[in-house]
Structures are given as C-alpha cells and as structure tokens.
Structure 1
Amino acid sequence: MAAAQAVTDGARVALVTGEAGLGKSTLLEHLGRRLEREGWLVAAGRCLEVDSAPPAWAWTEALRAVAATTSPGEFADDLAPLLTDTGPVNADATAGRFRLRQAIWKWLAEVAAERPVAVVLDDLHWADAATLELLGGGLGLRAPILVVAAYRADESGHLTEMLASLARAAPLRLALPGLSDEAVAELVRTECEADEETIAGIAERTGGNPFYVRESARLLNGEGALVALSEVPEGVRDVLRRRLARLPEGAVSILRLAAVAGRESPVDVLVKAADADEDGVLDALDAGVISGLLDEPGPGLVRFVHALVRDTLVADLSRLRAARMHARIADAMEGTDDIAALAHHYARAGSPKAVGYCVQAAELAEARYAHDVAACLLSDAVANSTGPDEHVELLGRLLRAQIRAGALAAARETRREAVEYAESLGRDDLMIAAFTAWTEPTVLEAAQEALDLATGPRLRAAALQILAEVHGDAELSQELVEIGTEHDLPVYRVTGRLNHAAVAAAANDPVTMRRVTAEALELARTYRMPEAIAVAEITLAALTVIEGRLADAAHLYNKAGEGRRRTGSVHAAGFLQLALAVIWLNDGTLGAHLDDVRAVLSPMTTDLLALALHANGLDTEARKVRASSGPIRPDFFFTFLTTLRFL
C-alpha cells in the first residue's frame, strides 16, 4: 500500500517479485479490490504463458477495461491496434509504435485527472517485447498513476533491460517471502489433520511456497506422511505427478488435452476435441475441479489453478501425441475468431491449415507493431507451407518482418534460404521474387529513376536516402530530414541526419558532424531504433577518439558493441575488438595487447596482429603474418583495415 499512498501528481511504479506459487496473483487481487474501494480506476492485465496469446495482450486487457469507463477520444486511432482487432497498418511502423506508446500514457494521464488510475500487470516474466516496450512509456509522467508489475524473479532473465529502465523511477520493490511456519501449519490443517513433526517436514521441503504446501498437504491427506515426506522426490512437479496418478486414466487424458489447449479453455472446445463422449469429458473435468487441479473462472470455462499443473501435464506428453491433440483442438476451434490460437494449434499439429491462420495472426501482430511476434508466426507458416510459390512468398514476408524487428542477421539468412530454394527449382521468377523481397533500395540508377518518378513521400524518401549517401550531398540529406519530419517518417529523419554526418566528416567539419549525429542519436532513442542508435554511438565514439578522450571513447565503443550484438548485426562479433584496437593504436599500447589480438585472430585481423608483433620486437613473425594477408573484403571494416595495411 505504500506505493498507492505515495502517488500524488506523479506516476509511481511498484515491482512485486516471488517464485512460482508464492501468492503474488492473490496479492494483486486484494490490492485491486482495496484500490477500487478507495475510488481508483483499476485496469488489470495478465501476460499469458502460451504461444497462442496475441501480442501485448496484458495491455489489451488493461486498456479495454479503461475504455469501458472512459472513451479514448482523440487517441482512438492511435490506440486502435490494442482496443480493436485491426488489420495490417500502412503507416510507418516506427512512427506508429511511438504514437501508440505516447497515446497510451497521454490517455491514462487524462483519465487520471478525474480519478487516480492503477495499471496492474501480472506474470510479467511471460511478457513479449511489445508489452515491455509499452511499459516504459510512462516514466516521468506527471499524473496520479500507479503501475504495479508482478513477475517471478527466477524467470526474469529477459526483463533485465526493462528493469534497468524502470530503476530510474525509483520503484517500490516488494519481494514475496515464503509462508512462516505458523502459516504453513494453518494451511496444512485446512486440508487434513497433521502433527507438528509432519508440518515441520512440509515447511522445510516446500520452503513455505503456498502452492507447494497445499499440494503436499493434499498428497498427505490422500497417501499419508510416509509418501508425502519420504517417497516422493523433492519438487512440486513430482508431487503433482503423484497426485495425478491417483486419478482415473481417462480423467488424466482429458486433463492433458486441456493442458495442450492452454491455461484456460472453453468446455465446449474440449468436448469437441476429446476422444470421449460429453459425459466422459465432464466427469474428467469434475474430477479435476474436485481434486483442486482446476477451477471454474466463468460459465463454460475451466482453468488450471496454477501454471505448474498445466506444465506438468504437458511435459509428460510425447511430441506425437501432443501434435495429435493440437490438431483436434484446432479443428474444434474452427469458426471462432481466435486467430492466434488457431495459428498456434495448427502449426504445432504440422497442418497446412497453419499457413493461412499464421499469416492472419502475423498481420494482427504487425498492426500492434510486434514485428518479432509476426516473424515467429511467419516462421511457422514457412515450416507448414507446401507449394514453391507459396514457400518463396512466405519467406519474403518473413524477411520483411525480421527487418522491421531489427533481426538483420536472421533476415539475411532468410533471403539466402529463399534464393537457394528458388535456384534449386530453376525458377527465374521465384529467384527474382527472392532477391527483391529485401525492401531496402540498393541500386543507384534505380534510386535516381525513382526520384524522378516519385509521387509520394515514401518513394521519394527511399530514393533520397540512397542518393544522399552515394553523392555525399548535404542538401539531399536535409531534404530527406524534411520529408521525414513533414510526413512522420522517423526512419528518414534519423538516416538523413546520419547521411549529413557522413558529408560533414568528408568535409572535415567535426562540429557539424557531432551536432547532427547527436540529433540522430536522440531521435533514434526516442523512437527505439537499436540499429540507428548503434551507428550514431559508433560515430560519436570515433569523434571522441579524434578529440583524444580515449577512455570516454572506449566506453562509447563498448555501448555500441552491445547494441550491435542485440540487433543481431553480422559485424557484432568482430566490431568491439577492432574498436578497442583503435584505442590501443592511439594510446600506443597495442603491443601490450598482443594476447588479446591473438585471441581474436581471423583473416581480417592479420595486419593488426603484424603490428602488435612488431611492437613487441617480433619482426620475423610479423613479416610472416603480413605475408599471409589476403585481400580485404569491401564490407563494414574496409576503410579501417585498409588503413591498417598501409601503416
């Protein structure tokens, strides 16, 4: 309650952490009810642990709860990807994603002007990238908004960057401990009678985890203390397996089907998908409810009381049986509007029907700017495609989604796969389709022709981007920035400035170069463009080397190297060592780093190794290494490596 009481005119963040079963969801429910009694508008959403969940689902749930009480008004268009199941968007993806994030928090701030707002996001450890990105948009907001995010600490590896960002808001951190010995005793005795020694054994075995305590107590009630404390291996999944073994086999089969369907399932879908008749299915579900493995969150719905129950049931299925179950569930869901679930189940079943549903689900993901999710769905579509035309067309879609997601290395691999596949068929038309799927313009003549014929801002900007880079023209770069600003195309606002920086570098104008690069970096960070951030950081690091501030340059190069690694750059592996070599060359310490240079030895670092050997007086070995040098590839490192060769 401390965070709620501290919220006045500024947004606050509370982070609730704990292991599986420590009752964080129950805590959030109590918190929500108390805030509602005190006049708060509580908007809650849960990140789902299944692959069939639509992207940013927790935000969809939360914002639709807000929309039920307050119209989004002027923000409706920008919020449409989350408030409605819109189709593909034609707007610039980077700008649209930025506007969506801004619209969410501006709308919430307007709502909070009338009554305080609490946004409660549970199970953040299952959050997708879109959910995490939207969460960061409220930092620094001056409005009475409380954001409560709950996650399992032991499954939060991918939350590191988001948590570091939230740390700037000085969040309240609440770590849920296990139950005390007294609380364990009380919980056990709600299930069965037990002596002090048995209760102490359960407390020690479970670490006070409420879910594990309850499951152990139920096992104790059914099979006695010897089994509950001695014969069952430690671990809640083993306890669950022991309890499941006591149910009729037919009931367990239905529960496994429900587990494959998801954490929560409509009963009518399970009836249609099961091998048993309706009575048999209902009897099995009744057994699950009576045994405490399932509950009924609403009419016609069953839900596993904990994700561990579902995980245990699924883990014990063979891949063959799971695929058959996915197919039956998908067939039973035909005719519903749950496209994401249909795509998931048909893909896991290996069915050709997966293609159409995966494409539709990918379009929904792209409408929410979740291009990483779209790429996963399109990968499933590719895996289940049949004819060659369909296969190449889907590879092209996948490639474009990967580019938009910033997964450039994966995009290059997809293009290679498409080209090799088309080549193996001897199909020139498919070869052309594979080569042109990459949407970045690359041919100078085509760019000039496009500029002459362009009737819209996008085509003109794409042509200007190539021409400005090739010709080194500051005026073309400035026009590119102006088009990007006027038509809300942030990619061109950033690349125009980076092109201008390159022009300034060629003109030996470091002042202009630093100014426009810093502007590009600020914009790239605002719109969360990781590749552009890395390029701008590299440029600023190079300027810092020139200024002689080598320690600062090393820091900037390290940041840029980490950024390139996260974006999947093909240059990420060698970039940082070569960047650090620039520092060593400038401060005269290359010879002291001979072992470091040897450790990254490759054909492109032979000249660097020769210089390091020479600095250590090992001239014979240096000449031998220099003689083994091959031609320098015309890639990202060409200028640097050519300079090394002439030293």
Structure 2
Amino acid sequence: MGAGLVGREAERARAERLVAEVGTGVPRALAVRGEPGIGKSALLGHLAVVAGSAGFLVLSGRAAEYEQDLPFGAVVDAVDPFLGAWDGAAPAELAAVFPALGPGTAPSPVDRHRLHRAMADLLAILAARRPVLLVLDDLHWADAATVELVERLLRRPPPGPVLLAAALRSGSAATPLRAVLRAAERHGHVEAVDLGPLDACEADLLLDTVLPPGAPQRDRIAADAGGNPFYLLQLARAPGAPAGEGDNGQLPAPIVAALRAELRDLPRNAGLLLAAAAVAGDPFEIDVAAAAAGLAPDPALDALDELWARDLVRTTDAPRRFAFRHPVLRRAAYAAAGSGWRIGAHARAAAALAAAGGPAAMRAHHVERSAAAGDRDAVAVLSAAARDVAGVAPVTAARWSGAALRLLPATAAAERVELSEATAASLLAAGRLDQARPVLRAAVPLAADEATRVRLACGCADVEWRLGARAEGLRLLTDVLGRCTDPALAVRVRIALGTAHLWGADPSAAARWAVEARDTARDPGLRATAAALLAIATAHDDLDAARLAVAEAAAFLDRFPDTDAAHVDAFLFAGWAETSLECEAAAVGHLQRALAVAADAGRALVVPEIRYGLAVALAATGDVAGAARAADEAAEAARATGATDTLAWARLAHLHAALAAGDAATLARYAREAGPERDPSDLSASIDGAGRAMVEMAGGDAAAGVTLMLTAGGGPDLLQFARAYRPYWYLLLTDAELRRGRRDAAAGWAERARTAAEGLGLDGRTGWALRAEAAVRLARYEPAAELALRSAELLERAAYPLEAARSRALAGAALVAAGRRAAGAAMVDGAAATLAAHGAHGWAAAARERVGGAGGELSRREREIADLVADGCTNREIAERLTLSVKTVETHLGRAFGKLGVSSRSGLAARLRG
C-alpha cells in the first residue's frame, strides 16, 4: 500500500470490487475526484496494481497542465508505448492519433466520431485477449479531443472487460468535462469517488513514514496540511520552510513556500534544466529540455543526474524520457522561471524539434508561446499544425489557426480571410458555433472579391440561424443580395435565404425563395439545388409540387460528378424530399453522395441531417442494421456539432431500428437517457416525447404511451408532426389502444389515420391507414384479412418490405381468427421469415405472437389473469397475487380482450366459460 493510501479503506474496496466485476466481462468506469494532492493518483496507482495482479493489461497516461492543446495527450501517453511493441492490428483510423501506428491520414473533421469508435474498437480487441484497465490521470487538464473521446467511451463503453479510470480535480474541471461526467453519473455510466482529507489518525500514520514519532514539527505540519497527503509529505521534506504568500493556483501558502525551499539551493545548471523541462513537457525528452535550457549535452546530463538524485524527476519506461515527481512540482518550476526566459525557452524548444524533424503539431505548442507578431515562419508552422489536427481535434486546430491569425499583420487581408475560414471551419466542426460567428463576421468586410464575400456571408448566416439569431442572418444575406452584381452569386444568396427559412420552420417562405432562385439560375447545378430546396419546402403540404421539383433536381444530380461542395445541399434536400415522397431508394443514393461531398468539403454542420435522412431511408427499404448504424452516426455527428433537434431525430430513428430488431439494450439506453419532459412546442422536446411514447408502448404501458404521444404531437391532430408521417403515428396510437382493450378509441385513431392519408397520393401512407383499420376489425371479430392484404399490397408498391410483411402478419392472424388456421399460420410464418431476414427480429417475434393469440388463444400470463378476472378479482388484487404492477395487469387484460373479441370483464368471463 502506497503512502498516499493510508486509510482509504472504502475507496480501495470499491476499486477492488470494480476490478472483480470487470473481470467477469462487464465494462465499468470510475471517476476519482478531489483537491490537488488528496490522493487521486495514489488511488489510481492502487487500482493499477490490483488490476495488474488480476491479469489486466494496464495502460496509464496523464494529461499535463501546459499541453492542453496537444490532441489526445493523456490517451497517447497511455496507449502509444504499448502499440509500439504490439503485434496486433489496430483500426486504421487510429494511425492519425498514435505515432506508433503512423503516419496516418487524418479523417475529415465531419467524421471524427469514427475515430472515437475506432478507439472503442481497439479497446474491445485488446479486451478479447485479457481485461483492460485504461487509466487517465489529471483529466482536468485534458484537451478537448480527449474530453470528446472520454464522453464517447462513457456513454457507449467498449464491449467486454474494459475498466476506464480517470482522476480529476473537484470543482476545477473544464465546463465540457463537468457536463460529461454529470451526464454519465446521471445515466449510471460511471461510478464517482470523492476523496476527502485524511483524519488525524491517518495523517499521523502517514507522517510516520517520513518523520520520527517525536519530531517537534509534526503538529505544525499536520495543521498546515489539513489532511492532504501530498501537502503532508511536501511539508515534511522541507519542514523549515518559511510561510509565504500563496501564488500558485489552489496551493496553500505553506506548500508554495515548501516547494520554493526545495528548489532554492539547486545548482545553476540543475535549476535551468528543471525550468526548461517544465517548458518541454511532462514527461519530457532530455534533448528538448537541454536545448530549451541552452545547455550542451554533457552539462545537461550532469544536471539531470542532480535532479534525479533529489527525486525531483524520475525515469520512465522510454529511454531519454523523464517525468516530474508530481505535476505540482512542474507547475512550481514553470512559475519560478521568468516570463521573458520562458518565451526564449519555448523558442529554443521549437527550434530543437524543427531540427529533429518534429511534426508541426509538436512545434506549434512552443511556437504559439514564443512567436512575435508578424513572424511569417510562425504563421506557417501554426497553420500547418492546424491542418494536421483538424480532422481529429478541431478545437486545437481552431486555437492554432486563430493564433496564426493574431500574428498576421492587419494589412494581410487575403491571408486573414483564408485563416479566418479555416478557424471557423474547425470551430463549426467542434460545435463551437458561438465562437465561429465573430470570426466569420470579422472576415466578411475583408473579402476582396464578391465571390468570397458571398461565401463568407452565407456561412455566417448559416451559423446565425442555428444559434437562434435568424433575423440577423437574414439581414446579412439581404444586404449581400442587394449588392450582388453577379447573377450566379445572387442565386446562391437566394438559396441561402430559402434554407434559413426552411430550417426556421417557415416552409412557405423557403418555397418562395426557392422559386425565385430556380427561375433566375442559369447554372444547372444551382438550378438543381433550388429545385431540391423547393421540393423539401413543399413536401409538407403540396406533394404534387414536391414531386415535380424533386424530379427536376434529380434529373441533374443523377448525372452530376461528386466534385463541387456547393451542391451538398442539393443532394441533402433531394434526399429528404424523397423520403417524404416514398422514393427511399433514390433518397439513399442522393444522401450517400451528399455525405461524400460534405466530408470532402468539411461541411460539418449538414452531416447530422444527412445521416439522419439516410437512417430513415434505409429503415424504409428494409436495411435495419444499416439504419441503426446511420442513426447512431447521425447522433454522434449531432452531438459533435451541437445540433440539438437533429440529435433528437437521430435518436428517434435509432429507436425505431431497435424496435424492429428487438434490440433491448438500445431500448433500455433510450429510456435511461431520455431527458426531463419539457415544453412540447420545443421541436427536440416533441421528438423526444414521441420516442418516449414508443418506448412505453413497446414496454407494456400503452396508456402512458398514448398520453406521451398526444403531448408530443400537440394534441389529437398531431400538428407537431409532418403531415406525411401522421398516418404512421395514428397507426401506433391505434395499436396502443387495442392493447388496452379500448376498441372504440382505437377505431377513432384508425379513422384519423385514413383521413391523414387521404390526398397524399402515397401508397405507403394509405397502407398504414388500412392496417390500422384492419387491426380494429380483427379486435371486433369482423373480417379483416382482405383489408390487411390490401394494406400489404400498397406497402409493397411503396417498396416498404418490412411494413408490408407486418400487414401480411396481421392478415394471417385475421385468417386464423376466421377459422382458416393453416392458411393464416403459413402467412404469418412467411411474414415473420421476411422480417427476420431483414434483421427485424423484434417485429418477427411480434408477428408470430399473433398466431398464438388469434382465434382466442391466450398466452400463459393472459390466461392466468383472465381466470382471476372470471373469479371476480379486481386488477389490484390480481397485481398483488401475481406480484405485478396494476398497469401490467391492465395491459395483459387489454390484449386478452382483443384476442377474444370482448370489451368487458363480464364478456371475458362468459367467453372463458364458453
């Protein structure tokens, strides 16, 4: 047991329990929080020892205070040394992050979440051989890319025995990390340990390890340390240190004084090397530190020996690489060096790395801290570094391109515009829209030509309306349009105005601008984009106009090469419109092309919408696994860019695929992560409400599902939902009421489904409405097979294979209920086989259940409850006798009513007696 772990019995036991649980194959996560020096690292060290003894692969890394701009710093520190000696195959995407696998090509900024998935895949690969412990210490210093990765690993842990353990300071973590951990704790993804001070007995025991029992300074040290293990040991090392003023962050004045006392009598070269090592990094390369100190190799090595002898620095597993005894010591050494000296040291470190052929990203860390305004070489290094990391760490890329921008003279307008666009693109990829807006705004007046000004204005307006400042964006576009002299550029601005109105939930205004853009466009690509915009704008209420517009757009797009980023929106709008017009096969092609062009162009903001549309189209065509994958990627992209509404839509699409597949884990995660109920007029709240309704309906509480659906839809008219999809929502409400045994209410929803489908001219929507009506007829013991088969025919014509199979299953159940059991069972089996072949195992199981229940055959639980009803028991009495909830009893009873064609308890009893 390490000295820092005196006491901590409960915490050590908790860590050991986690190791045992992970050893059984279950992924777990631990977050250790506390003030500096409280023992977080010691607890992680104990965890590593326990895990190593249990046969775990232990990978340990630490974030560093002065390297918060180095992407994935702590993760690279932990994993790269292992990968350098590993003989296995790692996912190709990781070569862009880990030097041991490089050189690699960075992914597009719009797809960096695939890198997060690749890291999870790597951990899963390693865990397939033996359990893995990934330790990330000092995570409060983590860069933005690491925070994103940790959020992904907590929310979607790698399958298998993987334990993620992180330590961070309490109350001082960066806001994104605090939010990540709060969400992870709320959803049960991480266990948190908050370390407090040692009590008096524990502090006394710790002092016994460094001071004799009767030492006179023990009481003063214990009082000054306040139960903090690091402070106790540090004060014990320099017991005669004078009190001083605390000027080192959160460190108490006596600790600052003790650190200064420890460093005060260092020989000159040792002091220089220690300060230079603090500049070089933690851990640091001795050659870089020597160069930063201005020391020749031999004096530098002599100074290193002095630092090692005093236990100020320690060796690491890598040759010529050393680490500080504690991060606080590095901070003290860095702060003790003069500001001017540090500037020179960073410059010397950058020069040493350049001479050694170090990558721009390693040099940029030092160049940013040492370059003077007007230094064109520094601008080049920072710009190159930003380009290198833009795909994996857009926040860092924005910081470095922003630093280059600050170094450029105000007269370099063209270069400033170029760097401004690069900075904004990285900020947008990271979801930092509020930071990108002023960068773009400042660049618009600098544009030397009309084309650049229009491009910047359209990009800025896009950000404005996404931030809720639609009026400002519209004013900017209107002003630019008024000054346009190039007709083609004016068309682009009109398309941007229509797009702003479309996403601002004003499709009629969007349609007006789309028509004006289409009618004034001479370029066929721009005309196609305007037509596609018109198609999605009119798809809400004028499907004939939408069909004509999407046909016009598709005629051009289908012969258009994927080379011009300006046409990303054309592919997106066409694909979305086609999903509303039951042209999903065409939509898949257009949306996949949109994705490819967007990735090449770095159009991060539209990627979530593209992937969501792709998920909807794939689900309709019967590709359940592909739909789930696309929806999951849409959600990841939406989280990265902060697209709240699209995130809600993506989660709903993933939920739909999970219901089809019978994916209980995804259903449980959706229910667990559902946010609190909010004002349903908020679009994302309405979408989340619909998802919660679907979960409740699938989970047995149909009454709660109906209530949630009506709230989400804004009442029985479901005006919150697009007109083209209302028949489907009414079908769900019909099924829910039938499960409750409320056939009259179900008939009302089925009638609304029929009315909603009228006038759409869409076979699939009519098919949904007919299935709702057929289900009501079956529940009433009326002929329903012919109507259900007609529903299947229309859904097949719409190329909805899964929905057609579900209607055929209903037709089979109707045949069984009509006494044609063999024919009906065969039809249900065929429908279930079709569903299973497409991966819709959940729906296949539900289809087979129809045969078991049709014609009055109840499940075991339904028969058990029905018998108790016949005996005169109330629902509450039945619930208590069978250890069920009253709602569960009501659900089973409603199903029994539907299967037996009765509407009351007395009717049920009479049917059972018969």
Please, what TM-score do these two structures have when normalized by structure 1?
0.69
Structure-2 residue corresponding to 1:627: none
The answer to whether residue 180 in structure 2 is matched with residue 162 in structure 1 is yes
Shift of 1:190: 5.0
The partner residue of 1:355 within 361, 364, 379 is 379
The partner residue of 2:590 within 466, 483, 493 is 483
The partner residue of 2:526 within 424, 447, 450 is 447
The answer to whether residue 460 in structure 2 is matched with residue 346 in structure 1 is no
Is the 1:521–1:537 contact (alpha carbons within 8 Å) kept by the matching residues of 2? no
The aligned amino acid for 1:381 is A
Is the 2:611–2:631 contact (alpha carbons within 8 Å) kept by the matching residues of 1? no
The answer to whether residue 424 in structure 2 is matched with residue 399 in structure 1 is yes
The aligned amino acid for 1:525 is A
Structure-2 residue corresponding to 1:385: 408
The answer to whether residue 225 in structure 2 is matched with residue 206 in structure 1 is yes
The aligned amino acid for 1:151 is L
Structure-2 residue corresponding to 1:35: 51
The answer to whether residue 631 in structure 2 is matched with residue 525 in structure 1 is no
Distance 1:302 1:520 in 2: 45
Is the 1:58–1:131 contact (alpha carbons within 8 Å) kept by the matching residues of 2? yes
Shift of 1:556: 7.3
The aligned amino acid for 2:162 is I
Deviation track 1:31-55 (CA, whole Å, cap 9, x = no partner) reads 3243233222223332232236531
Distance 1:299 1:471 in 2: 60
The answer to whether residue 236 in structure 2 is matched with residue 217 in structure 1 is yes
Distance 1:170 1:529 in 2: 19
The aligned amino acid for 2:325 is V
Deviation track 1:315-347 (CA, whole Å, cap 9, x = no partner) reads 345543322222122122222324323111112
Which has the larger displacement, 114-123 or 530-539? 530-539
Secondary structure in structure 1 of the residue aligned to 2:679 = helix
Is the 1:538–1:556 contact (alpha carbons within 8 Å) kept by the matching residues of 2? no
Task: List alignment gaps of at least 5 residues for structure 2.
Answer: 1-15, 463-491, 496-516, 530-552, 599-604, 615-627, 652-675, 689-710, 715-914
Structure-2 residue corresponding to 1:308: 328
Change (3 A) 1:43 1:493: same
Shift of 1:277: 5.2
Structure-2 residue corresponding to 1:56: 72
Shift of 1:147: 1.7
Secondary structure in structure 1 of the residue aligned to 2:369 = helix
Deviation track 1:141-187 (CA, whole Å, cap 9, x = no partner) reads 54222222222223235322221332223534333344454554455
The aligned amino acid for 2:635 is R
Is the 2:368–2:403 contact (alpha carbons within 8 Å) kept by the matching residues of 1? yes
Is the 2:48–2:58 contact (alpha carbons within 8 Å) kept by the matching residues of 1? yes
The aligned amino acid for 1:117 is V
Distance 2:413 2:606 in 1: 35
Secondary structure in structure 1 of the residue aligned to 2:65 = coil
Distance 1:106 1:365 in 2: 21
Distance 1:487 1:434 in 2: 21
Secondary structure in structure 1 of the residue aligned to 2:253 = coil
The aligned amino acid for 1:455 is P
Change (3 A) 1:5 1:203: same
The aligned amino acid for 2:526 is A
Is the 1:266–1:302 contact (alpha carbons within 8 Å) kept by the matching residues of 2? yes
Distance 1:49 1:556 in 2: 44
Distance 2:243 2:159 in 1: 53
Distance 1:65 1:483 in 2: 43
Is the 2:244–2:257 contact (alpha carbons within 8 Å) kept by the matching residues of 1? no
Shift of 1:483: 3.0
Shift of 1:11: 0.9
Deviation track 1:547-599 (CA, whole Å, cap 9, x = no partner) reads xxxx95427749879x9xxxxxxxxxxxxxxxxxxx9xx9xxxxxxxxxxxxx
Change (3 A) 1:16 1:340: same
The answer to whether residue 331 in structure 2 is matched with residue 331 in structure 1 is no
Structure-1 residue corresponding to 2:745: none
Map of 1:238-317 to 2, 5 A cutoff? 238-248=257-267, 251-275=270-294, 281-282=300-301, 284-297=303-316, 299-317=319-337
The partner residue of 1:462 within 569, 575, 594 is 569
Shift of 1:348: 0.9
The aligned amino acid for 1:456 is D
Distance 1:499 1:418 in 2: 33
Is the 2:28–2:163 contact (alpha carbons within 8 Å) kept by the matching residues of 1? yes
Distance 1:238 1:110 in 2: 48
The partner residue of 1:554 within 669, 679, 694 is 679
Structure-2 residue corresponding to 1:123: 138
Change (3 A) 1:49 1:558: farther
Which has the larger displacement, 390-399 or 452-461? 452-461
Which has the larger displacement, 56-65 or 157-166? 56-65
Secondary structure in structure 2 of the residue aligned to 1:36 = helix
Map of 1:99-178 to 2, 5 A cutoff? 99-135=114-150, 136-137=152-153, 139=156, 141-158=158-175, 159-167=177-185, 168-169=187-188, 171-178=190-197
Which has the larger displacement, 429-438 or 16-25? 429-438
Is the 1:461–1:484 contact (alpha carbons within 8 Å) kept by the matching residues of 2? no
Is the 1:399–1:437 contact (alpha carbons within 8 Å) kept by the matching residues of 2? no
Change (3 A) 1:462 1:212: same
Map of 1:581-596 to 2, 5 A cutoff? none
Deviation track 1:96-128 (CA, whole Å, cap 9, x = no partner) reads 333323333234334323322222222221222
Change (3 A) 1:234 1:63: closer
Is the 2:361–2:385 contact (alpha carbons within 8 Å) kept by the matching residues of 1? yes
Change (3 A) 1:313 1:42: closer
Q: CA-atom RMSD, angstroms?
A: 4.5
Is the 1:477–1:499 contact (alpha carbons within 8 Å) kept by the matching residues of 2? no
The aligned amino acid for 1:165 is A
Change (3 A) 1:141 1:231: closer
Secondary structure in structure 1 of the residue aligned to 2:134 = strand
Distance 2:629 2:273 in 1: 59
Is the 1:293–1:305 contact (alpha carbons within 8 Å) kept by the matching residues of 2? yes
The aligned amino acid for 1:77 is A
Secondary structure in structure 2 of the residue aligned to 1:17 = strand
Secondary structure in structure 2 of the residue aligned to 1:394 = helix
Secondary structure in structure 2 of the residue aligned to 1:554 = coil
Deviation track 1:613-646 (CA, whole Å, cap 9, x = no partner) reads xxxxxxxxxxxxxxxxxxxxxxxxxxxxxxxxxx
Distance 1:434 1:526 in 2: 27
The aligned amino acid for 1:2 is R
Distance 1:438 1:199 in 2: 63
The aligned amino acid for 1:379 is G
Change (3 A) 1:251 1:137: closer
Distance 1:114 1:291 in 2: 41
Is the 2:635–2:646 contact (alpha carbons within 8 Å) kept by the matching residues of 1? no
Secondary structure in structure 2 of the residue aligned to 1:256 = helix
Distance 2:246 2:350 in 1: 40
Structure-2 residue corresponding to 1:577: none
Distance 1:436 1:146 in 2: 46
Task: List alignment gaps of at least 5 residues for structure 1.
Answer: 501-517, 541-550, 564-582, 587-647
Distance 2:366 2:50 in 1: 39
Shift of 1:465: 3.8
Is the 1:80–1:86 contact (alpha carbons within 8 Å) kept by the matching residues of 2? yes
Is the 1:123–1:151 contact (alpha carbons within 8 Å) kept by the matching residues of 2? yes
Distance 1:155 1:120 in 2: 20
Secondary structure in structure 1 of the residue aligned to 2:284 = strand
Distance 1:329 1:399 in 2: 29
Map of 1:484-503 to 2, 5 A cutoff? 484-485=591-592, 494-495=608-609
The aligned amino acid for 1:41 is L
Is the 1:480–1:496 contact (alpha carbons within 8 Å) kept by the matching residues of 2? no
Secondary structure in structure 2 of the residue aligned to 1:349 = coil
Distance 2:55 2:630 in 1: 44
Secondary structure in structure 2 of the residue aligned to 1:146 = strand
